[in-house]
Structure 1
């Protein structure tokens, strides 16, 4: 056994692997992106899933692919339409829509319509970081490394007392993943964290396949690394950004005092949520390349950037 091994030596790795894969293949949540190996469709699902509950992603994913079914069709689309769709679906930060649109253009222009097949290659796409690149490589090409997300960390910490350290989690996950089986393995271990080893565990109810080896199940100590929570959407800056985009989709351009009431009902030009607040919001959107501001003779106007 490697000196760098993180998992306890008494853990039967082959039995652990077999138990998890059999549990996953017997029954798992039926998300449509699990039924495809199309890298474009998987990339869309991964980008949408960032900070958004999976159940909410299904309808948005299907609608998005119905409108832009291929990387080529997305690359040809008007960016403002893509951003507008993202905002209407409440999928979070709109710059992810812009990055996805630009990534589609890269696939067409730089890669002749073919996706890179490795995590390193996929990271050359706009907005695709290590986690998303690895997920696409795993689920589209079965060529990824072991995925380590919040759910996987929680599972490894509880089951095998892996210390709360990113490097340790990476090594433990890699030790467990069967060589050449990243597609089924990464789906399976994320499913375990998503339905059995949640913040409040459901070990027996979900039939957790690792109860035989799990330290937490044996001791009753289900503490786990802190899990970041998604900030409330209602009243958030993210929601206000979405309202700006929606309003500017409807009108060619709007002066600040025309736009403000469409973003917040309590907008008053000189109030707490007035011109200064709105300018700050628009400045952020301009930095993201989504809107542009123009100073006219009578007022500053905002419009979507083409």
Structure 2
């Protein structure tokens, strides 16, 4: 994002900032739960699940004390249940090794299960209000188009780090995420963008290929859910949410994957969620 005027971006974004419930929060655990849920899941689906999850598990200690099965039951509907397993494991480590509070150090956060470079920096920026740059799909798209080139993860992070205004880490990251989510979309609305005159790709006439495609952090379109292994896994998890079931009722290959992930327990001929 070299050459970007942070003042112009903030002037555009602050009045338009989306009113999301986790943006009213600074509790590291609550921020982490939101960020993990938002991985590959739409905001509108996350909001009620985030609220219900934190009503049951308001802190790492309560999540660590719960059974994995109870955590998975509350998670159902968000998909990718390994995220729930990792979140509970993280809660246990935080209780055992960090006095029940998420660390405010990048390396310590990266050492926790399921926390990668984006999520670790999101906790630092959104809970601890540190001047660090987060790079998600939306931000990576802005970075690549503004630079006019496909970006490696290292290059994308370096460009993002260069433009975080001092003392504005929380606001800056929220605004840039909104810019990517609402304006610099896969099909962009460049006429609405505060970066239109400094974006290399837009100034060049938006030629093919779009530099965002294949850049670090920019996700590709998911395969359809209907008929997929993800749907079959989801059906098993939903069925087990109300009690044990016969293993023979489900596809053996799907069950093998769930058992290997520690999400389902086989007890003789029956299946249950883990304790």
Q: Secondary structure at the match of 2:190?
A: coil
1:179-190 correspondence runs (5 A):
179-190=166-177
The reply to whether residue 132 of structure 1 matches residue 157 of structure 2 is no
1:1-306 correspondence runs (5 A):
7=2, 11=3, 13=4, 16-87=5-76, 89=77, 91-143=78-130, 145-204=132-191, 207-221=192-206, 223-226=210-213, 227-251=219-243, 253-257=244-248, 259-260=249-250, 278-295=251-268, 300-306=269-275
Displacement of 1:281: 1.1
Decide which structure has the larger Cα Rg and report it.
1
Task: Tell me the equivalent position of 1:263.
Answer: none
Q: Which has the higher contact order (CA 8 A, sep 6+)?
A: 2
Distance 2:144 2:240 in 1: 47
Distance 1:112 1:42 in 2: 18
Q: How many residues align?
A: 268
The answer as to whether partners of 2:149 and 2:211 remain within 8 angstroms in 1 is: no
TM-score by length of 2: 0.90
Q: Secondary structure at the match of 2:265?
A: strand
The answer as to whether partners of 1:134 and 1:144 remain within 8 angstroms in 2 is: no
- Per-residue CA deviation, residues 117-151 of structure 1 (Å, 9 max, x unaligned), is 12212122222122111111111012253222222
Question: Cα RMSD (Å) of the superposition?
Answer: 1.9
TM-score by length of 1: 0.81
Displacement of 1:180: 4.3
Distance 2:106 2:79 in 1: 24
Q: Deviation above 4 Å: which 4+ runs of structure 1?
A: none
Displacement of 1:160: 2.9
